[in-house]
């Protein structure tokens, strides 16, 4: 089954069940991949694990799958969020894709004083996250939340979740991620091109749950900071990080 197409569906998955595919999936299977009724696929829904299935019906705008046998049981993933300042569309898309591949459980876009993107398309970001999850073999799709202002996010933050704020350069207050990371629910915060303003840094400094960290001596692009910070944080917490329930 390793060469079969892997798809995310919203239907419950169990042996003998039928699962509905989307119109986009029907188009992809029939017109792009040239699959027909009886072709093998693999399905996951973020809850029931991964299942072997076959195309039971494939018509214009509609696909139905016959679910056969479970291949992988649902497994828990790291309870790690990415909070990132909105960027221009291509850069935001890239951040969403790479963060999904790295296993984050939620994507939280924020607007800051230096944010240069007026809005984002949540349906587009969700589609990107689904596609990345399908391709990278993970069993879940990260939650994609609507953008909020950074100050509002800080006001409503649950204090039990550490918020690691990736800031420029190392200082006595900004330790390397490997030194600052600790077990428990966590999130990484990365800023816009140009970094956070002094007012924003002051606001973060008043929050006990914010842990300022450095990603090294170089100035990174915003999308690079997201990937670098997540990688360092995951590596630092390996074996000790909390996981979200399956």
What sign results for the dihedral spanned by CA atoms 210, 215, 219, 221?
Answer: negative
Distance CA 61, CA 50 (A): 24
pLDDT of residue 118: 66
Which domains, and CATH codes, for the chain?
A: 5-72 (2.40.240.20), 80-237 (3.40.1280.10)
pLDDT of residue 61: 83
Distance CA 233, CA 237 (A): 6
Distance CA 196, CA 114 (A): 7
Phi-psi region of 34 (alpha: psi -120 to 50; beta: other; left: phi over 0): left
Q: Is 114 helix (H, G, I), strand (E, B) or coil?
A: coil
Model pTM score: 0.89
pLDDT of residue 170: 53
pLDDT of residue 27: 94
Extract the tokens encoding 199.
């007012």
Return the C-alpha torsion angle 148, 229, 140, 84, nearest 10.
10
Residue pLDDT tens, the chain, 246 long: 446 899 999 999 999 999 999 999 999 999 999 999 999 999 999 999 999 999 999 988 899 999 999 999 999 888 999 999 999 999 999 999 999 999 999 999 999 999 987 678 999 999 999 999 999 999 999 999 999 999 999 999 999 999 999 987 655 567 888 888 888 899 999 999 889 999 999 999 999 999 999 888 888 899 999 999 999 999 887 755 444 544
């Amino acid at each position: 089954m390793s060469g079969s197409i892997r798809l995310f569906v919203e239907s419950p998955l169990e042996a003998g069940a039928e699962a509905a595919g989307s119109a986009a999936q029907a188009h992809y299977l029939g017109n792009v991949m040239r699959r027909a009724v009886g072709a093998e696929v693999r399905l996951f829904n973020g809850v029931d694990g991964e299942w072997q299935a076959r195309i039971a019906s494939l018509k214009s705008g509609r696909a139905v799958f016959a679910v056969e046998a479970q291949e992988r049981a649902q497994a828990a993933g790291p309870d790690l969020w990415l909070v990132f300042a909105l960027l221009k569309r291509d850069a935001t898309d890239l951040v969403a894709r790479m963060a999904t591949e790295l296993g984050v459980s939620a994507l939280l876009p924020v607007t800051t004083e230096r944010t240069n993107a007026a809005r984002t398309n949540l349906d587009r970001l969700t589609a990107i996250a689904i596609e990345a999850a399908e391709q990278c073999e993970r069993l879940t799709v990260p939650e994609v939340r609507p953008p909020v202002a950074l100050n509002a996010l800080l006001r409503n933050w649950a204090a039990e979740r550490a918020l690691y704020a990736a800031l420029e350069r190392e200082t006595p207050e900004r330790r390397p991620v490997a030194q600052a990371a600790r077990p428990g629910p966590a999130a990484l915060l990365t800023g816009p091109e140009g970094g956070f303003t002094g007012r924003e840094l002051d606001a973060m400094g008043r929050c006990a749950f914010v842990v300022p960290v450095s990603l090294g001596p170089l100035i990174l692009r915003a999308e690079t900071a997201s990937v670098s910070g997540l990688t360092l944080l995951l590596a630092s917490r390996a074996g000790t990080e909390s996981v979200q329930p399956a």
